[in-house]
Amino acid sequence: MKTLGIFRHAKSDWNDARLRDFDRPLNKRGRKGAALMGLHIRDHAVRWNRILASPAVRAAQTIELAEEAAGESPAITWDRRLYLASSAILMDVLREQTTDPGTLMLVGHNPGLEDLIFDLVPDDRSSPMRDMVEEKFPTAAFAVIELDIASWSEITDGCGRLVHLTRPRDLDPELGPQIEF
């Protein structure tokens, strides 16, 4: 069995229209959410052997703030292919993990991360957490999938079970959706 963590970057700042999408930093809510989720991930009791991450500024800042809050720094592999990657590309990157760590965490972007959850976890209506992902996998959300595989090269559709899902709003209601009137 392998364990896959999926951590979507925290909320980014859209105030500077001159910035490329890749270069957008986190906004104030995003910084708070990344730190809070870092503490939650640490307390979840899974020790991550490696992080595979998009090098986009918002993903890098999410990791930095989460690690700073948690006081932990797993090895990070930055991979440009993870920037806005589809589920198929994410699976290809996972299959390439030749050292076969027991636990990996992906840090990146939607819709690829959300689609990866849908591809890995069968839609058998037995998981309320999967239904929550169908509703929305918001910024700074964290999911854990147990995979019925012996090696990362075996990852395939339907081989996973979603065992954990936490959104920032689950830990702090102020980090929930902003209601506009």
Strand order across the beta sheet in which 103-108 lies = 75-78, 50-53, 103-108, 2-8, 142-147, 160-166
The model's confidence at residue 17, banded by pLDDT at 50, 70 and 90, is: confident
- Kindly give the pairing relationship between strand 75-78 and strand 50-53: parallel
Quote the longest CA-to-CA distance of the chain: 52
The answer to whether residue 78 scores a pLDDT higher than 60 is yes
Range of weakest confidence among 22-31, 32-41, 119-128, 171-180: 171-180
The answer to whether residue 146 scores a pLDDT higher than 90 is yes
- Kindly give the pairing relationship between strand 160-166 and strand 75-78: unpaired
* Domain 2-175: top CATH class: alpha beta
The predicted pLDDT at position 181 comes to: 44
The model's confidence at residue 163, banded by pLDDT at 50, 70 and 90, is: very high
Q: What is the mean pLDDT of the chain?
A: 92
The answer to whether residue 157 scores a pLDDT higher than 60 is yes
Report the share of the chain in percent with pLDDT over 90.
78
The answer to whether residue 177 scores a pLDDT higher than 90 is no
The predicted pLDDT at position 178 comes to: 66
Per-residue pLDDT averaged across 156-176, rounded? 91
- Token representation of residue 44: 């979840």
The answer to whether residue 60 scores a pLDDT higher than 50 is yes
The predicted pLDDT at position 45 comes to: 78
Distance (Å, whole) CA 66 – CA 175:
15
